[in-house]
Amino acid sequence: MAEVEKNKKSVDTASLELIDKACADEVSLAFDRAEQMKPCPIGVVGSCCSNCGMGPCRVPLPKGKEETPEGKKKRRGICGATAETIAARNFARMIAGGAAAHSDHGRAVAELFIAAAKGEAPGYEIRDEQKLLQLALDWGIEIGDRSNQEIAVDLGEKALAEFGRQEGELLFLKRAPLKRQELWRKRGVAPRGIDREIVEIMHRTHAGVDQDYQNLLKQGTRAALADGWGGSMIATELQDILFGTPAPLLGQVNLGVLKEDEVNLIIHGHEPLLSEMIVVAAQDTEMIELAKSKGAKGINLAGMCCTANEILMRHGVPLAGNFLQQELALVTGAVDAMVVDVQCIMESLPDIAQCYHTKIITTSPKAKITGAIHIEFDEHKAMESAKEVVRTAIENFPRRGKNILIPQEQHDLIAGFSHETINYLLGGLFRASYRPLNDNIINGRIRGVAGVVGCNNARSTHNEGHINMVKELIKNDVLVLQTGCSAMASAMAGLMVPEAAAKYAGEGLASVCEAVGIPPVLHMGSCVDNSRILIAATAMVKDGGLGDDISDLPVAGAAPEWMSEKAISIGQYFVASGVFTVFGVTWPTTGSKEVTDYLFKDFEEMYGGMWAFEPDPIKAAQLMIEHIDKKRKALGIDKARERILYDMEMRRDLI
């Protein structure tokens, strides 16, 4: 394979090594399929409508020339839908898909939470009483002398009711800055319930319903807020209560974490419900003895995608890789089983597994894959399910072939920066505070804060966008908060250790990182944990000195390698929360100038945050820095002020 062509696929040497091996083993990867199949030029700009049986209707912009008013009039679907309506419908449906994924994850956690609280899910327990009490205070649940179980049952039922709520507004909205809450109410986008907003998008985008792009995007905003301040936040908070609120710990990342002499079991997907039990099962003496009886030295667990982030943050289980490395993990020939639940799992896995010896195990009734083994996760006998998964991996170990290549590449990272931990690290146990962060933003040592999140996309070089953007931001004294596959990319580049501050960050940011003892890039968790970034931004507002809304803060967001509908939902709830948000790779509404302008320009006036599209990660980072500087100027903290010690005579002159 030509070196230039191969290097376009990834910037990660471990991945490149395995892309070569896949080529030699005649295994087709997502990278290859992306080369063989170009994206549909009409669908990619949001100009194709397949919402009824009269279509699909294609309404692309004319190629290479300006559109005339007459031409624009003709650009309609069979039902008369304009390019604006079609682009907005498609965009809103992407939000619905993303919000549904995050929120259904939240629902699954709430159901397990109730079962655990009632003692019907053996092995699960309340691990973080403090967060339980915190949520009880949030939601007006009586604490008194009641047991944790009693409080948890009420809390779980109230959380579950948020999904089916029909009126009023979601309870977590009250956590947002007061001004933001007022704005949502004024704009009519405060979500009434989680499921209701998603269902309403599906109704409105059905043929012949909502045909006003602004009204469609308004509902999109409402559903996205129901994700960020609803479903995702419920998932994060209840998981913290059940499995523990993350605190900093040392971890390792990249495919080099696989071990040649141990049973390698990769846990891939998003929900940590079963994986928490697998972590326990893999340490069981019976399982370890079984592994040894099969000739292995032990059981090596590793994570993939957001499940990886969840079990890394709470148990230090190493990260094998991000989205575009799931196929490559199998290509090592050293993975005895890969267990998956939901979201971002490639259907190609069982086919690739056939070329080696790996067993692909699905566990969710919502996500089965032809060619995989199905071991259904039952929360009432979770340990049994977990042990069956581990046993399947162990029994497959002797079938491992000789065609094995485990790259040496692995890096250290510090993970586990929840909002609670940042608050503690900045102020200590007796006066936890965001004050040091705000002060250092005001004095200019830290220019601003950026959230860089999202996926990998086979249509852009794996990890390149994330790493280049993050390096550019920290070089310019912007503290970076990360989640999901984006966080893993930075960890693979060695940006998530404290030493990275001196090496890559600007002088101001480096000095703060050194004083506090944190890396310049903070790992905040999985994709539902973007809700932690919302809370961190709110804490910055509430601490004072940087305005009274998230839109006043010198902050920005980005997803340089996004691919999933979840990313669109995340972006939309960040924008509607007041954050300027830049996406790379592609933008799904460019088929309509009006819709794109509405999202990129008019939204700023309405919500204080807006979208932007810039495929070049360095240019995108500069757009974020420009926005941060604009906010600094508006706050009056854009220039260093001379410090003068006034004597009495100078004071008298002031009068």
Should residue 142 be labelled a site residue for another protein when binding is judged by CB under 8 A?
Answer: no
How many residues of this chain bind another protein (CB under 8 A)? 39
Should residue 248 be labelled a site residue for another protein when binding is judged by CB under 8 A?
Answer: yes
- Tell me how far, at minimum, the Cβ of 555 lies from another protein, in Å: 15
- 34 vs 133, beta carbon nearer another protein: 133
Should residue 12 be labelled a site residue for another protein when binding is judged by CB under 8 A?
Answer: no
Query: From residue 46, how far is each of 39, 101, 125, 581 by CA, in Å?
Result: 12, 21, 46, 19
Should residue 442 be labelled a site residue for another protein when binding is judged by CB under 8 A?
Answer: no
DSSP per-residue string spanning 150-205? HHHHHHHHHHHHHHH--SS--GGGGGS-HHHHHHHHHHT-S-S-HHHHHHHHHHHT
- 271 vs 420, beta carbon nearer another protein: 420
Should residue 20 be labelled a site residue for another protein when binding is judged by CB under 8 A?
Answer: no
* Torsion sign over Cα 75, 81, 82, 86: negative
Should residue 396 be labelled a site residue for another protein when binding is judged by CB under 8 A?
Answer: no
- Tell me how far, at minimum, the Cβ of 638 lies from another protein, in Å: 19
- Tell me how far, at minimum, the Cβ of 626 lies from another protein, in Å: 24
Should residue 412 be labelled a site residue for another protein when binding is judged by CB under 8 A?
Answer: no
Q: Give the binding range for another protein (CB under 8 A) out of 77-85, 281-289, 414-422, 596-604.
A: 414-422
- Tell me how far, at minimum, the Cβ of 445 lies from another protein, in Å: 20
Distance of alpha carbon 595 from alpha carbon 564, whole angstroms: 20
- Tell me how far, at minimum, the Cβ of 176 lies from another protein, in Å: 9
Should residue 247 be labelled a site residue for another protein when binding is judged by CB under 8 A?
Answer: yes
Residue 223 CB partners (closer than 8 Å, separation 6+): 92, 95, 96, 99, 191, 197, 198, 200, 201, 569
Q: Give the binding range for another protein (CB under 8 A) out of 224-232, 426-434, 568-576, 631-639.
A: 426-434
DSSP per-residue string spanning 560-572? TT--SHHHHHHHH
Candidates 245, 264, 309, 581; binder of another protein (CB under 8 A) is: 245
Should residue 259 be labelled a site residue for another protein when binding is judged by CB under 8 A?
Answer: no
Give rounded-to-5 percent helix, strand, coil for the chain. Answer: 55, 10, 35
Site string for another protein, 524-563 (x = CB under 8 A): --------------xx-xxxxxxxx---------------
- Tell me how far, at minimum, the Cβ of 517 lies from another protein, in Å: 11
Should residue 591 be labelled a site residue for another protein when binding is judged by CB under 8 A?
Answer: no
Should residue 137 be labelled a site residue for another protein when binding is judged by CB under 8 A?
Answer: yes
Could you give the strand order of the β-sheet that contains 448-452, starting from the edge strand earlier in sequence? 521-523, 478-482, 448-452, 555-559, 580-583, 611-613
Backbone angles phi, psi at 213, to 5 degrees: -60, -30
374 neighbors 362 (Cβ within 8 angstroms): yes
- Tell me how far, at minimum, the Cβ of 289 lies from another protein, in Å: 23
238 neighbors 113 (Cβ within 8 angstroms): yes
Distance from the first to the final alpha carbon of the chain = 77
- Tell me how far, at minimum, the Cβ of 424 lies from another protein, in Å: 6
- Tell me how far, at minimum, the Cβ of 548 lies from another protein, in Å: 5
Residue type for position 35 = E
Candidates 432, 442, 516, 635; binder of another protein (CB under 8 A) is: 432
Tokens standing for 616?
């070049």
Should residue 249 be labelled a site residue for another protein when binding is judged by CB under 8 A?
Answer: yes
Candidates 431, 643, 651, 652; binder of another protein (CB under 8 A) is: 431
For residue 86, the surrounding DSSP H or E stretch is helix 83-117
- 151 vs 302, beta carbon nearer another protein: 151
Q: Is 73 exposed, middle or buried (0-12, 13-18, 19+ CB in 10 A)?
A: exposed
For residue 303, the surrounding DSSP H or E stretch is strand 299-304
- 543 vs 629, beta carbon nearer another protein: 543
Distance of alpha carbon 140 from alpha carbon 138, whole angstroms: 6
Please, which of residues 266-325 interact with another protein by CB under 8 A? none
- Tell me how far, at minimum, the Cβ of 181 lies from another protein, in Å: 5
- 198 vs 546, beta carbon nearer another protein: 546
Measuring CA to CA, which residue among 9, 39, 35, 15 is closest to residue 587? 39
Measuring CA to CA, which residue among 434, 437, 443, 505 is closest to residue 635? 443
375 neighbors 365 (Cβ within 8 angstroms): no
Site string for another protein, 169-208 (x = CB under 8 A): ------x-xxx-xx--------------------------
Residue type for position 296 = A
Distance of alpha carbon 451 from alpha carbon 529, whole angstroms: 12
Distance of alpha carbon 425 from alpha carbon 430, whole angstroms: 11
Distance of alpha carbon 338 from alpha carbon 350, whole angstroms: 10
- 199 vs 432, beta carbon nearer another protein: 432
Should residue 512 be labelled a site residue for another protein when binding is judged by CB under 8 A?
Answer: no
Q: Give the binding range for another protein (CB under 8 A) out of 419-427, 526-534, 587-595, 638-646.
A: 419-427
- Tell me how far, at minimum, the Cβ of 349 lies from another protein, in Å: 34
- 541 vs 610, beta carbon nearer another protein: 541
- The β-bridge relationship of strands 555-559 and 521-523 is unpaired
Neighbours of 230 (CB within 10 A): 32
- 130 vs 443, beta carbon nearer another protein: 130
Should residue 2 be labelled a site residue for another protein when binding is judged by CB under 8 A?
Answer: no
Candidates 54, 143, 161, 502; binder of another protein (CB under 8 A) is: 143
- Tell me how far, at minimum, the Cβ of 653 lies from another protein, in Å: 33
Should residue 515 be labelled a site residue for another protein when binding is judged by CB under 8 A?
Answer: no
Measuring CA to CA, which residue among 413, 485, 477, 488 is closest to residue 449? 477
- 163 vs 434, beta carbon nearer another protein: 434
Should residue 516 be labelled a site residue for another protein when binding is judged by CB under 8 A?
Answer: no
- Tell me how far, at minimum, the Cβ of 252 lies from another protein, in Å: 16
Candidates 228, 256, 416, 588; binder of another protein (CB under 8 A) is: 416
- Tell me how far, at minimum, the Cβ of 279 lies from another protein, in Å: 14
DSSP per-residue string spanning 520-546? SEEE--SSTTHHHHHHHHHHHHHHSSS
- 223 vs 425, beta carbon nearer another protein: 425
Q: Give the binding range for another protein (CB under 8 A) out of 285-293, 429-437, 555-563, 619-627.
A: 429-437
Candidates 252, 264, 423, 530; binder of another protein (CB under 8 A) is: 423
Residue 595 CB partners (closer than 8 Å, separation 6+): 46, 84, 87, 88, 91, 213, 217, 589
Measuring CA to CA, which residue among 203, 135, 366 is closest to residue 269? 366
Give the footprint of another protein on this chain (CB under 8 A): 128-130, 133-134, 137-138, 143, 175, 177-179, 181-182, 245, 247-249, 416, 420-421, 423-424, 427, 429-432, 434, 538-539, 541-548
